[in-house]
Chains A and B, each alone.
Chain A
Amino acid sequence: METIKLTIDNKEIEVPKGTTIYKAAKELGIDIPTLCYMDLHDLNIENKPGGCRICVAEVQGKKNLAPTCSTNCEQGMVVKTHTTRVMNARRTVMEFILSDHPKDCLICAKSGNCDLQDMSHRLGIREIPGAEFAEMSTYRKDTSPSIIRELDKCIMCRRCETMCNDVQTVGALSAVNRGFMSTVAPAFEQNLEYSTCTYCGQCVAVCPTGALTEVNHIPQVLRALADPTKTVVVQTAPAVRAALGEEFGLAPGTLVTGKMTAALRALGFDYVFDTDFAADLTIMEEGTELLDRLSRHLKGDKTAKIPILTSCCPGWVNFFEHYFPDLKDVPSTAKSPQQMFGAIAKSYFAEKIGINRKDMVVVSIMPCLAKKYECQRDEFSVDGNPDVDYSISTRELASFIKQANIDIKTLHDEEFDAPLGESTGAAVIFGATGGVIEAACRTAYELYTGKKLERLEFTELRGMEGVRSAIIDFDGLPLNIGIAHGLGNARKLLDDVRSGKSLFHAIEVMACPGGCIGGGGQPLHHGNSEIIKARATAIYTEDRKKPIRKSHENPFIIKLYNEYLGKPGSEKSHHLLHTHYFDKQKKVIIKK
C-alpha cells in the first residue's frame, strides 16, 4: 500500500494514502476537536460534510486553514494543530455557532451529554460577543409520538440527514432552505409524524445537540407509580442490560441485569419482568409460522409466502408499511416482544392476580424509540386501554434512576419476578443483529427435525456486516437465512423479494445498525462504534451463562401454553400475539 509521510505538531508519521489529517493526528495521540464529523467505523457509516470548521489546522503552504476531518494527508505535509491562528479561528467559529444557539442547558434534554456543550467547555467559551443583538434562526418545535425536534438547537452537522438517507434510505429528513435559515427537516417542514419516518431513532442517536431527542415519558411513569390504585408492571428489553451501565460510568459491555432489576424494584415497580420472556414467546409463534409456511411451500402450496420476514422490530415494520406495502403479507404476523408482553400481562397475568386491565400500567424499558410509537398504535389496545402504556428508553431509565438518588453500582443483584421474568439464552440474543434468527433456528431445528440440536451457537449468523447470509442444515434441508441490519440493507433484500429474485427462506431485519444494541434509545455512543461491538459481546456472554438456551424449553412458556394459550398458532394465540399491517404509502387522489 502506498504510504505518506508527514509531520503533525513536529511529530513525524507515516500513514496509508487516503488517511485524513484528523485520523493521522489521532494515531499520534493528538485529539483534534470535531463537531460535525462522525465515523462509525465498524458499521461503515461516515459523516463528513466539512461544515462546522471546528477541526481546522494550519497546513504549511496553504492559504487557508484546512478542515482536518476531510483533508487527506499529502506527502511531506507540515501540519500544526494548535497555533494561535488555529486557536483563535476555532474560538471565533465556536462563538459563531453559539451565537445562533439557545442557551437552554438548564432544561435541555441533552445537557450533560451534549457534544456542543462539551465543546464549548473544552474551548473555554465564557461569553458570546454581540449576543445582545444577534438574531437567531428559529423554527417550529415538532413533537411526534417518539421524537421531539427542536431545530433552534440544530448546528447543521447533517449527521441525522446521513443516517436517515444514506444509512436508513428512509429519506424523511433533508437539509432545507438556504443560508442562515437552513436546517434539517421533513418535506414542507411538516411534522415528522406526516413524513415516512420509521421512528428508528437513528437521527436522535447521532445528534450532537438537543435538536433531536426522544419524547420523555418519565413524568407519566412517575405519576403511575405514585398512584396507589395502579399495579405497575415493568418489562426490560434484552439490549438494555448490555448498555445501561454506560450511563453510570461502567465500561461499555458491562452487563447490569441484576443491578437493573434491583433498581427497578427500588423505583417502586410492583412487578419487575423481562421482555425476554416475551421474546421466547415470539420465537414460539414466529418459529411455528416459519415451519408452517415452509412445509406448505415445500409441498408446492403457492399461497405459502417464502421468505418469511421477522416482525419484531417496529422500526422495520413502519418501513415496509411505508415503502413495501405490496409485500405486507410477507413478514411474520407475530407481534413484537414488547406487544406480546403487554397483551399477556394485561390478560393472563391480570387475571392471575385478579385485577382489571384498566388498573394495570405496563411500562417497557426499551433501547428503541420506535416502540414508543408502536405502543400507541390503535390495534394494540382494548377499548382504548393500551397493552403497553409507556415505553421508555434506556437513557430515560438511567435518568430516572439518577433522579431517585439510587446508586446502581452499589446495588446487589436481584432476580426478575415470576412468571413473566423467566427467559432463555435464545431470548437474550434478540438484542444483537442475527440474534432473532439464531434463536428461531435453535427452536425451529428441534421442532422440524425432532432431533436435539448439538451445536447451539450459529456463529455464522453473527457479526457486524450489513447484509449477511448463511445456510443452516436442517437435517438435510438446507435453510437459506438472510440477515440485514440498518434499513438501507433491508431495502436491498426487500428489492430482491419484490422482484422474485430472493432465494432466502427466512430473513431477519433490524432497523438499527447493530440491532437493538445500537438502538435509538440507547446511551449515546458519541460516534464510537466500539461501544456497540462491546454490547454485542455482552449479549452473547449472557446467553452462554443461561442454563436454558432454547425458547421452547422455557418452563414458564410451556406453562403459559398449557394453562392459557393452548399451542403456538392457536386461535387464542392469534388473537393475543399476532397482528396485521397497513399500507401507509402516500396515494395520489385524483380530483374530479
Chain B
Amino acid sequence: MEGLRGEPTIKPPYPAESGYMGKPTNVNNVETFAAIPVIILKGAKWFSSIGTEKAKGTKVFALAGKINNVGLIEVPMGTTLREVIFEIGGGIRNGKKFKGVQTGGPSGGCLSEKHLDTPIDFDNLISAGSMMGSGAMIVLDEDDCMVSMAKFFLEFTVEESCGKCAPCRIGNKRLHELLGQICEGKGSLDDLDRLKNMSLVIKDTALCGLGQTSPNPVLSMMENYRDEYIAHVTDKKCPAGQCRSLMEYVVNPENCVGCTACARVCPVNAITGERKEIHLINPAICIKCGACMEKCKFDAIFIR
C-alpha cells in the first residue's frame, strides 16, 4: 500500500500503533466493518444476545464442496457443524459419506466427524485445530484423499508466501514436496514424523500469519485421519483412490463385454483384448489418466 513489496513488517509495532504511512491503522476485514452499523443501529445488547458467551453475533460462512446446497450462509455463533452441513447444507452430494470439513480456508484445519457437534465459535474452532479465518467451509466426502488435500492447500501457501522469512519460504515448499512424495508412495513412517515436526516449527517460527497458519491443514488432517496417512506410507495405498501413483486401474472380468471402447480411448495403448473378449490393462504402461473408466458404459473398470 506504500508502494513497496507487500512484505509483512516486524510486529510489534502493531498496525494499530504504527501502520499505514506510520499512522495508526485500523486493519479489519469487510465483515467486521459490516457488523458495525448494525450494532450501532440496534445496540450492542441486541448484538450480544445472539451467539455464545464469548463470541457474540452471527457469522457468515461460504459453504462449498461436496454438499447439496452451496452458497453464503449467516448463522448465529454457536451453531453446530452438523446443523450447518446437514440441515442448511442439505447433506452430502450423491449420498456419499461425510468425511470432513475444512474451515478457515487454506490456513484453517480439517475437522472430522467427531467435531460435528461442536458449536462454532472462535475458541472452539481453534482448540479443535482449525480456525474461523476466512469463513470458508469446504465439505469433503469419502472420495477425497486427505494427503492430496493437504498438498493441495500447501500449493496455495507456496504460491502466496512472500518469501521474506525462511521457514515459510522454504519450509512450506518442503512440506509440499514431502506430501507429494507420500502421494507417490515414496514416503515412510519416519516422514510422517518429519512432516509433523516441520509443520510445528513453521508455525512456531514464521514471521506473519500466513506462515504461522499454513501448516494447519497438514497437522489437523494428520491428526484426524492418521490411518489414511499410514496407509499411504506403509501399504502404499490411497484409501480414497485419489493418488494416481497408488492406484491401479483394473478391468472387472464379470462386467467387461469387450466393447473395445476403453482400448480406443487409452492414450498410451495400455489396454489389450479382442472384440467381445475380456480386456486387460497393463499396469506397467498405464498412466492412470482415468479415460477408460469414464468411457466404459458397463462399469467394468475400477480402481484398486
Direct interface between A and B, CB < 8 A: yes
A residues near B (Cβ < 8 Å) are 48-53, 56, 64-65, 67, 70-72, 85, 88-89, 92-93, 96-97, 99-100, 129-130, 133-135, 155-156, 175, 177-182
- Please measure, in the bound complex, the distance between the C-alpha atom of A355 and the C-alpha atom of B204, giving whole angstroms: 69
The answer to whether A130 and B194 have CB atoms under 8 Å apart is yes
User: What separation, in Å, do the CA atoms of A489 and B167 have in the docked complex?
Assistant: 36
Set of chain B residues within 8 Å of A51, measured between Cβ atoms:
164-166, 207
Residues of A within 8 A of B169 (CB): 156, 179-180, 182
A-B contacts, 12 of them at CB < 8 A, read A51-B166, A53-B165, A56-B204, A64-B212, A92-B197, A96-B198, A100-B173, A156-B166, A175-B7, A177-B163, A180-B158, A180-B163
| Given A48-B10, A70-B10, residue A64 in contact with residue B164 (CB < 8 A) | no
Q: Which residues of A contact B203 (CB under 8 A)?
A: 64
**Chain B residue at minimum C-beta to C-beta distance from A131:** B174
Q: List B residues 105-132 near A (Cβ within 8 Å).
A: none
Contact across chains for B201 and A156 when beta carbons are under 8 A apart:
no
Rounded to whole angstroms, the CA-CA distance of A181 and B177 in the bound complex is 15
Determine how close the nearest CB of chain B comes to the CB of A588; give it in whole angstroms. 22
Chain B residues with Cβ below 8 Å from A97 are: 166, 170
Are A130 and B161 also in contact (CB < 8 A) when A92-B198, A180-B169 are? no
Known: A50-B10, A51-B207, A64-B203. A130 touches B178 (CB 8 A): yes
Known: A48-B10, A88-B197. A178 touches B206 (CB 8 A): no
Alpha-carbon distance between A93 and B207 when the two chains are bound, in angstroms? 12
- Output the nearest chain B residue to A58 by Cβ-Cβ distance: B204
Residues of A within 8 A of B240 (CB): none
B162 within 8 A of A: yes
How many angstroms from the CA of A99 to the CA of B212 in the assembled complex?
20
Interface residues of B in 160-200 (CB under 8 A from A): 160-167, 169-171, 173-174, 177-178, 181, 186, 194, 197-198
Looking at the assembled complex, report how far the CB atom of A105 sits from the nearest CB atom of chain B, in whole angstroms: 19
Q: Which residue of A lies closest to B207 (CB)?
A: A50
Contact in complex: B204, A96 (CB < 8 Å): no
Q: Is B205 an interface residue (CB 8 A)?
A: yes
A123 to B27, CA, bound (A): 39
Complex Cα spacing A71 to B198, Å: 23
Cβ of B166 and Cβ of A175 under 8 Å apart?
no
Q: A52-B165, A130-B178, A156-B164 are in contact. Are A89 and B201 (CB under 8 A)?
A: yes
Give min CB distance, B47 to chain A, whole Å: 28
B177 & A134 in contact (Cβ 8 Å cutoff): yes
Size bracket of the B interface: 20 to 34
* Given A93-B171, A180-B173, 8 more pairs with CB closer than 8 A: A50-B165, A51-B207, A85-B204, A88-B197, A97-B166, A100-B173, A175-B163, A182-B162
* A447 vs chain B, min Cβ distance (A): 51
- Say whether, besides A56-B205, A88-B201, A179-B158, A134 and B166 are in contact (CB < 8 Å): no
**Are A135 and B163 interface neighbours, CB within 8 A?**
no
Complex partner residue of A175 from B5, B10, B160, B201, CB under 8 angstroms: B5
* Shortest Cβ distance from residue B32 to the other chain A in the assembled complex, whole angstroms: 22
CA distance A353 to B240 in the complex (A): 87
Q: Are B170 and A182 in contact (CB under 8 A)?
A: no
Q: Is the CB of A133 within 8 A of B177?
A: yes
CB-defined contacts of A67 to chain B, threshold 8 Å: 10, 207
Q: Which 7 A-B pairs have the closest CB atoms?
A: A182-B163, A92-B201, A179-B161, A96-B170, A53-B205, A50-B10, A70-B10
Tell me, yes or no, whether B159 is within 8 Å of chain A by CB.
Answer: yes
Are B205 and A72 neighbours in the complex by a CB distance under 8 Å?
no
* B301 CB to nearest chain A CB (Å): 32
B193 to chain A, nearest CB (A): 10
State whether the Cβ of B12 lies closer than 8 Å to any Cβ in chain A. yes
Given A50-B10, A92-B198, A177-B163, A133 and B204 touching (CB < 8 A)? no
User: Which residues of A lie under 8 Å from residue B165 when comparing CB positions?
Assistant: 50-53
With both beta carbons as reference points, the residue of chain A lying nearest to B203 in the complex is identified as A64
CA distance A226 to B169 in the complex (A): 49
- Expressed in whole angstroms, the minimum distance between the Cβ of A166 and any Cβ of chain B is 13
Q: Check A180 against B170 for contact (C-beta < 8 Å).
A: yes
Residue from A70, A88, A135 in contact with B177 in the complex, judged by beta carbons closer than 8 Å: A135
- Least CB distance, A63 to chain B, in whole angstroms: 9
The contact string, 1 if C-beta is below 8 Å from chain A, for chain B 146-166, is 000000000000111111111
Name B162's contact: one of A65, A96, A179 (CB within 8 Å): A179
Which residues of A are found within 8 Å of B159, using beta-carbon distances? 179
Determine the residue in chain B with the shortest Cβ distance to A92. Answer: B201
Instruction: Choose one: B161, B171, B178; the contact of A96 (CB below 8 Å).
Output: B171
> Among A71, A96, A130, which residue has its beta carbon within 8 angstroms of that of B166?
A96
CB B12 to nearest CB in A, in angstroms, measures 7
Closest to B180 in A: A133
Alpha-carbon distance between A132 and B177 when the two chains are bound, in angstroms: 11
A319 to B170, CA, bound (A): 36
CB distance from B195 to the nearest CB of A (A): 10
Are B201 and A155 within 8 A (Cβ)? Answer: no
Q: List, in ascending order, chain A residues with CB within 8 A of B164's CB.
A: 49-51, 156, 182
Complex: how many Å from CA A129 to CA B192? 13
Chain B residues with CB under 8 Å of A130's CB are: 174, 177-178, 194
Structural contact, B163 and A179, CB atoms closer than 8 A: yes
Residues in chain A near residue B162, CB distance under 8 A: 178-179, 182
Cβ-defined contact, B212 with A72, below 8 A:
no
Q: Which residues of B contact A99 (CB under 8 A)?
A: 170, 174
Do A93 and B10 form a contact, CB below 8 Å, given A64-B212, A179-B158? no
Once bound together, how far apart are the Cα atoms of A135 and B204, in whole Å? 24
| A67 and B7 alpha carbons, distance in the complex (Å) | 17
Residues of B within 8 A of A156 (CB): 163-164, 166, 169
Complex alpha-carbon distance, A49 and B11, angstroms: 11
**Cα distance A99–B175 when bound, in Å?**
12
Is B167 a contact partner of A96 (Cβ separation < 8 A)?
yes
Q: How far is the CB of B287 from chain A (nearest CB, A)?
A: 21
Chain A nearest Cβ from B284, distance in angstroms = 23
By a CB distance below 8 angstroms, the chain A residues around B207 are: 50-51, 53, 67
Residues of B contacting A89 in the complex (Cβ-Cβ under 8 angstroms): 201, 204-205
Closest approach, in angstroms, between the C-beta of A86 and any C-beta of chain B? 9
> Do residues B163 and A93 form an inter-chain contact, with CB atoms below 8 A?
no
Measured CA separation A385–B14 after assembly (Å): 60
Residues in A with CB closer than 8 Å to B158 are 179-180
Q: With a CB–CB cut-off of 8 A, which chain B residues contact A129?
A: 194
State the CA gap A64–B211 with chains docked (Å). Answer: 12
Question: How far is it, in angstroms, between the C-alpha of A162 and the C-alpha of B195 when the chains are bound?
Answer: 35
Beta-carbon contacts under 8 Å, B196-235 to A: 197-198, 201, 203-207, 212
B10 contact set on A, CB distance < 8 A: 48-50, 67, 70-71
Report the minimum CB–CB distance from B136 to chain A (whole Å): 22
A179-B158, A179-B161 are known contacts. Are A93 and B212 too (CB-CB below 8 A)? no
